[in-house]
Structure 1
Amino acid sequence: MADQDVQTPVGGEPPALSVLRWDELPEGPVLVLLDQTRLPAEEVELVCTDVPALVRAIRTLAVRGAPLLGIVGGYGVALAAARGYDVAEAAGLLEGARPTAVNLGYGVRRVATAYWAAAEKGAGVTEAATVALAEAQALHREDARASVRMAEYGTALLEELLPGRGYQLLTHCNTGALVSGGEGTAFAVALRVHRQGRLRRLWVDETRPLLQGARLTAYEAARSGMAYSLLTDSAAGSLFAAGEVDAVLIGADRIAADGSVANKVGSYPLAVLAKYHHVPFIVVAPTTTVDMETAEGTLIIVEQRSGQEVTEVTSPGGVSEGAGGGKVVAPLGAPVYNPAFDITPSELITAIVTEEGVISPVTGVGLAELCARSSQVTIS
């Protein structure tokens, strides 16, 4: 059996989110994931014993978010090595699971390279697999540290841009502990502001069509005791017009060499609104999300997802009425345009916050200089 569900009761004071972990079972190692498709109705763990199961989890968004995908990709290579599968084949399957998130390929290549380097030095299969697991664990720890640094830099930037005040922050999609080895990217900044007692309101976009904001960000905000309000994506403009947004915080799935940012579809319209209303638009992402080999945003491959995500509405744990598992809300055979991401050009971005520092204004030169200081990015 490649994967299975393990129910975890919900209620009372919640523990820290356990998004993924490596377990050693009598029958072999497994990678255990919190199934994000089941949130917020229930906390269910998905146990993956092989790479095909892990690829399914990635493609169905049971596990998602650029930084976390990099970690999962690394652990996936380690899982293949530990269970004696073809590491090269496993790496290819994992790297191709989702094309836009650059972290996935980074994590896969990094751990696979460590495995092959150990093998070339004469390590046996078991020893090389141990090296691969250690590299995946190192990547996991590094991302957690990066989350802390991004939160520090992000809050300092907000104080610089909006000194001596509380903030009403608007965010899109989900960028918290559910996408990270730590407390997240953009959400981690908002969480730090909350802990400082300076968060007046976190505005949470629903993030259609898969409702990552409604299902996941609101879930994390509620767990953290944050003051938050949920809104439909189309309501954001009225918030800006009413002067109710002090800054926009989003994450990124890929940042091109020119500073253009690929993020969950709906991010670009927020950037346009922020520019018009003179509101800071801030991207928070680790340097592993930077792709210096992609010269500009127009060259980023944008994943096109199933039209059923738009023609059907799915509730976690709900009754399946359509072929895609949800309630049908559109005419049969309706054509659908369903990009998973959109591209925001650098001129609409106030700043990019990374664990290595802040880039503002956002330029290709500034991005290259910052990445040159980081061991996480290879500049071609």
Structure 2
Amino acid sequence: MGWPILLGVFLGAIALLVVLFEWQFRQRPGNQLELTPGEWTWDIQQTNRYRLIGELELINRTRRLEIMVPELAAEVKLLSSGPLDEVRSHIHVTPLHPDASARADGYWFGYIVKVGKTTRLKVAIEITGPDLSQLQTAWIQVHYLTYGPEGRIPKTGHIIYPLQYPDPQILPKGRQTSVGDVFPIRTHLLTNLDDPVEMVKRYVLPHAKPGDIVTIGETPIAIMQGRMRHPSTLKPGWVAKRICYYFLPTSSLATACGMQSLVEVEGAGRVLFAFIVGAIAKAILRKPGVFYQLAGEQARLIDDVTGSLPPYDQFIVYGPENPQAVVDRIQKETGLSAAIVDVNDLKAVKILAATRDLSSNILEQALISNPAGNADEQTPVVLIRTPKN
């Protein structure tokens, strides 16, 4: 065997080792430290003073690596229907480590979260002002720094807490449709602290009759499941940066971050393949929509920033996960037939999931006028009552 062949074998072996090393490197977990939304309670709720208390967890999701948290701080943004000139807020974080005491000066000292372990923290928010009745939402942002195999990585946990709750005993005036009456039901601003079934029990069951149908928008369900990401956590890659330019400006995939959110769910290969085939089908066969058929269900369901109510207009919201299980659970625990739908003002009704006793025709006819609305109505739930009821 001559030296050129030996050199080729040697270089090939080196290339293979590099590929294997890169593959193994990509399989490593990195700084997988997650902050949970936690549990929140009203401590004080007066006309001129609110106090909220939240207990959150930091969870080390890695299997073999310790992750450090050298820095952690929090801030709160208030959303209101009126001016905030005289409203003041203060936020205080207290570490609740299982093996260390908090400092009296409030300093967050560096802490190691061991493999498979957790640590907790308490966040206390004081809000004061002459009249707090116009406050709508507290958007809490917990900024923490992870220190581990991927270096220093800043992360932010987002907790959105509603400060106003409509009276669940008030049923709005119904609207007549060809299949019966529909009642758009107002709720508080739904968050990832809410549960779909408990929400239905609170706002729908006080008015429901046997045989009624409840429908819920797909975006509120996704939000309750925590299926949202702030664009700052996305790093658009080669595919996302290039193909997003070819989508209509109104599409949620027309931005690098919007497209990257799809890439991270379906993979760059599938998205690129769908784009190439879709472009060929549209240009040569005059057949639009092939990309959405090939790129996965999330391609149609992702809402980019500005696509939802504040403060969700700052987030990318995915479509819901396993919607069929959600509607089946609603029916089992409330007795109501249920559906998760995507409806817009263009008379398009897409049914993501429905209990098996429902007719798609009834749902489409009842919802075609989009009774829930697409603005700031905050009526994500619609109660449908057919004539037999």
Identify the TM-score tier after normalising by the shorter chain. Answer: under 0.3
TM-score (norm 2): 0.26
Larger CA Rg, structure 1 vs 2: 2
- Greater share of strand: 2
- Greater share of helix: 1
TM-score (norm 1): 0.26
